[in-house]
Structure 1
Amino acid sequence: MIEVYTDGASCGNPGPSGAGVYIKHGQKHYKYSYFLGDFSNHEAEFHAVIKALMICKDTFPSDILSFRSDSRIVVDTIEKNHTKNTLFIPLLHQICEHASDFPHFFIKWIPEKQNKQADKLARIAIQHQTNRQNS
């Protein structure tokens, strides 16, 4: 089973956003940081899950995935497979589509303090992009 921690961050709401993905596979740990463009914090959280699913599709295509997120909106939306928010509907569809490629996909809510690695990676993505624009 693969443990996948995801987080999205925004500098402003909306504003420059990043996604952080931290994966535990046995004794190995994988870290990914992605600049996303301008999104709300909630949208960045959804995009982080999508990025993580794409990584897992390439790296762990037949494994059981256990995702963790500190975003209640993301976890509740995925678990219920429903949202009324028109911005989240296409993101939910992408998540469902990518998740269907795996034998099992689970997501659970965790407190922010248990998601520090993914949070740090999301913030790094924003900082790197901001530093590039200012140089």
Structure 2
Amino acid sequence: MIEVYTDGASRGNPGISGAGVYIKANGKQYKYAYPLGVMSNHEAEFHAVLKALEICTVKFPSEILSFHSDSQTVVDAIEKNHCKNRQFKPLLENIIKMTNTFPYFFIKWIPSKQNYHADQLAKKAISDQINKDRT
């Protein structure tokens, strides 16, 4: 089973955003930080899950996935396969489509303190984006 931790962060809401993906698989750790441009924090959280699924599609296409997120909004939307926010619906639809390609996909809400690695990666993505814009 592949353990995946995701986090989205924004500096401002909306603001410069980043996604962090931390994966534990087969005794190895994989770390990814993705600048996302300007968006809301919730939107960044959805994008973080999408980025993680893109990675898993390439690296672990036939594995069982156990996702963890500190976003109750994202976890609830994925578990219920429904969200009211029109902005998030296309993101949720893409997530559901991608999860259906794996034998099993689980997602669980975790407290922020248990999502430290993904949080740090999301913040790094924001810092990288700010530093790139300065040059």
Give unpaired runs (5+ residues) of structure 1.
Answer: none
Match status 1:12 vs 2:9: no
Aligned to 2:63: 63
Cα deviation for residue 26 of structure 1 reads 2.7
Measured in 1, the distance between the counterparts of 2:2 and 2:54 equals 14
Residue 101 of structure 1 aligns to a residue whose secondary structure is coil
TM-score normalised according to structure 2 size: 0.99
Aligned pairs for 1:47-126 (under 5 A) are: 47-126=47-126
Measured in 2, the distance between the counterparts of 1:43 and 1:133 equals 21
Task: Letter of the 1:102 partner, please give it.
Answer: F
Q: Tell me the percent identity.
A: 66
Cα deviation for residue 27 of structure 1 reads 1.3
Cα deviation for residue 134 of structure 1 reads 1.1
Equivalent pairs counted in the alignment come to 135
- Cα RMSD, aligned residues only: 0.5
